[in-house]
């Protein structure tokens, strides 16, 4: 079967993998990537659902805290009124003193609010505010790609 005149050939290396094997591996890679990204999308959908639920629960908790705070404040005012009534011996005087105390508290809150509005209108604050607005417009103009450079302070801009 083997002729002596023929030159002897060594064993040939295995031929290159067939293209069908390569296509099969590429298909398996594609399926694996599809499963991976499908799992990631499923996880993202679950997280978004949880976040939506969390926001709803946070709003409900904020409402409950507000109701409890108002109830606590009314109870405290009632107790103060009762103590003032015992001290003065008259409900009329107790309610009048309580009314004056509430007016003083309201006046103090209004004055604090006005002072804060004054602070917002000072030149340094206006400069900081306008710088923040300019940076915000730049971020929107750059499609959200903000630079991490620190903002100059009011003294540096002057």
Strand, helix or coil for residue 16: coil
pTM score over 0.85: no
All residues at 6 or more sequence positions from 72 whose CB lies less than 8 Å from its CB, including other chains: none
Q: Tens of pLDDT along 115-157? A: 988 887 777 777 887 888 888 888 888 875 555 555 555 555 5
pLDDT tens across 66-110, in order? 999 999 999 999 999 999 999 999 999 999 999 999 999 999 999
In tens, the pLDDT along 48-62 reads 888 888 888 899 999
Q: Residue 90 has what pLDDT?
A: 93
Residue by residue, DSSP assigns 83-137 as HHHHHHS-HHHHHHHHHHHHHHHHHHHHHHHHHHHHHHTSHHHHHHHHHHHHHHH
Q: Can you give the C-alpha Rg of the chain in angstroms?
A: 38
The ranges assigned to domains in the chain are 19-121
The closest alpha carbon to 135, from 155, 158, 152, 154, belongs to: 152
Q: What is the pLDDT of residue 129?
A: 78
Q: Report yes or no: 151 and 136 within 8 Å, Cβ to Cβ.
A: no
DSSP percent split of the chain into helix, strand, coil, nearest 5: 80, 0, 20
**Overall average pLDDT of the 17-32 stretch:** 80
């Amino acid at each position: 079967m083997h002729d002596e005149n023929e030159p002897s050939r060594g064993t040939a290396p295995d031929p290159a993998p067939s293209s069908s094997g390569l296509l099969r591996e590429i298909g398996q890679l594609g399926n694996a990537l599809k499963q991976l990204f499908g799992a990631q999308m499923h996880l993202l959908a679950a997280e978004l659902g949880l976040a939506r639920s969390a926001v709803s629960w946070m709003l409900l908790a904020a409402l409950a805290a507000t109701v409890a705070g108002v109830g606590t404040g009314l109870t405290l005012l009632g107790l103060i009124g009762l103590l003032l009534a015992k001290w003065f011996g008259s409900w009329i005087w107790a309610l009048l003193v309580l009314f004056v105390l509430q007016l003083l508290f309201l006046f103090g809150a209004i004055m604090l609010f006005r002072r804060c509005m004054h602070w917002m209108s000072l030149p340094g604050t206006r400069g900081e505010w306008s710088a923040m607005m300019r940076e915000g417009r730049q971020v929107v103009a750059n499609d959200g790609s903000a630079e991490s450079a620190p903002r100059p302070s009011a003294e540096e801009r002057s």
